[in-house]
Chain A
Amino acid sequence: MKNTPHEHEHEHDAAEHAQSDYSVRAKALVSVLTKKNLVNPATMDAVVEFYETRVGPHVGAKIVARSWVDAEFRARLLADARAVARTEQFTGLEGTDLVAVENTSRVHNLVVCTLCSCYPWTVLGLPPTWYKDAGYRARAVIDPRGVLKEFGLELGDDVEVRVWDSTAEIRYLVVPERPPGTEGLSLEELARLVTRDSMVGAEKLRAPGPSGGHR
């Protein structure tokens, strides 16, 4: 018998136990490293703060929004995103060798790292849990259309699906299609429509509804 309420409880207890064990081990390692002056705790905080506030999907969203309104910028971005990252100062760790790929009505791009969890930190921040999940990594290459369908996006057989498996230092930014009904919006308003997952290719952007719809 699987998944009886009783067993669920056990599984839940086991997961809780593992979390508290990791907590004890992480605190012990950090405490010893700090006492030995091998790490500066303020530097650790700076790392987390950097990816929580300074560099995250809002960086990619601004780039995408600009590519919708500025054809010259879009052309440069798609031709050589690495050079654009340098001149526009959004280069850095995990994203220096950046490549931008565009979604159209005929082509849909999806990014994955089957071997680990490579992700364009410089434009999207740290990868979400689902991107690092074994199921996503396993299935994105053999059945990308099935994965996208489970994500809520059904693509026609006439659409070419391009999957990018990040095995080297090249990092991919998907430029999603501009949703309809956004003609009058400002750059800032457009950027607010661009979701993190659309820049990995996991979803398409919808037209802005009355409730906003930004996540």
Chain B
Amino acid sequence: MNGVHDLGGMDGLKVPERDQGFALHEEWERLTWGMLLATVGTPGLPAGNRRFIESLPPERYLTMPYYARFLESRTKSFIDTGLVTQQELDNPDGPVTPPTVPHGFAPRTPEQIVQFLCEEHSGQSNLTGPAAFAVGDEVVVKNDHPAGHTRVPRYVRGHRGVIQRQHGVHVFEDDVAPGTRVGPQHLYTVTFTGPELWGSRGHPRDRLHVELWEIHLVRAA
């Protein structure tokens, strides 16, 4: 979707000061991040909800603290799946009803989370197959503006680039139309020059690299 999250190239925002030190500053940020990683990916609990964050109204997205987006999206996921109710959240010291979880459900233990954080989580699929493009091939990014989640930033759509690296077959992350299915796809790093993307504002010695899946690309004429 053409959401506010797709920020590449937007004017009017200031370059931040570089903060040093650990990322989690406030206690609520530590609670939010700890809760998110302790629960996401646990069978029986909701998956992550990137779509919710991308659908936030632009004025809220740009003014909310970073971790507040996750607090809000995670809260909504728990409510939407019926595991938690708004009434319970409004009165956290009050009674709660037992949640509907799979038989034998247990929350992750500290040992399990450390193992989860340390094990491999690759985007690469077990599937193989011939790649349509090779390193050095010139390609054009399809100009499409899907309503759902996509990993194609607006600033590369319709532009011409060169395949810089092949990554093998990776799980496809874009939303697709209901009832259709797009399987894992070859993933490539595509290189664009500054002037190709930004015209006269692009520096001739800038090279922008973006990962794109095969379905996003056509061979340049």
Contact = CB atoms under 8 A, between A and B. Distances in A.
Interface in B35-82: 35, 37-39, 45, 50, 53, 62, 65-68, 71, 74-75, 78
Given A136-B15, A167-B210, A23 B28 contact: yes
A134 B113 CA distance: 30
Given A32-B88, A144-B206, A92 B119 contact: yes
Nearest to A164: B209
A97 B123 contact: yes
A159 interface: yes
Instruction: Give the bracket for the number of chain A residues in contact with chain B.
Output: 35 or more
Interface in B185-221: 187, 189, 197-198, 201-203, 205-213
Nearest to A129: B19
Nearest to B101: A38
B23 A168 contact: no
B96 interface: yes
A136 B112 CA distance: 35
B28 A27 contact: yes
A26 B31 contact: yes
Contacts of A164: 209
Contacts of B21: 128
Interface residues of B, number: 97
Given A32-B84, A32-B96, A43 B108 contact: yes
Given A26-B28, A29-B84, A167 B167 contact: no
Nearest to A160: B205
Interface in A157-204: 157-170, 196-197, 202
A111 to B, nearest CB: 10
Contacts of A84: none
Contacts of A36: 83-84, 96, 98-99
Interface in A14-43: 18-19, 22-23, 25-33, 35-40, 42-43
Contacts of A115: 5-8, 151, 153
Contact of A27 (B31, B90, B107, B109): B31
Contacts of B23: 51, 125-129
A62 B104 CA distance: 42
B35 A39 contact: yes
Given A97-B123, A97-B167, A168-B167, 6 more contacts: A22-B32, A40-B107, A130-B17, A138-B8, A159-B205, A167-B212
21 contacts: A19-B65, A22-B65, A23-B26, A27-B31, A33-B39, A44-B37, A46-B114, A51-B22, A51-B23, A52-B22, A92-B121, A115-B6, A127-B23, A130-B16, A134-B10, A151-B15, A160-B205, A164-B209, A165-B8, A168-B151, A170-B189
Interface of A: 18-19, 22-23, 25-33, 35-40, 42-48, 50-52, 55-56, 82, 86, 91-94, 96-97, 99, 114-117, 125-130, 132-147, 150-151, 157-170, 196-197, 202, 215
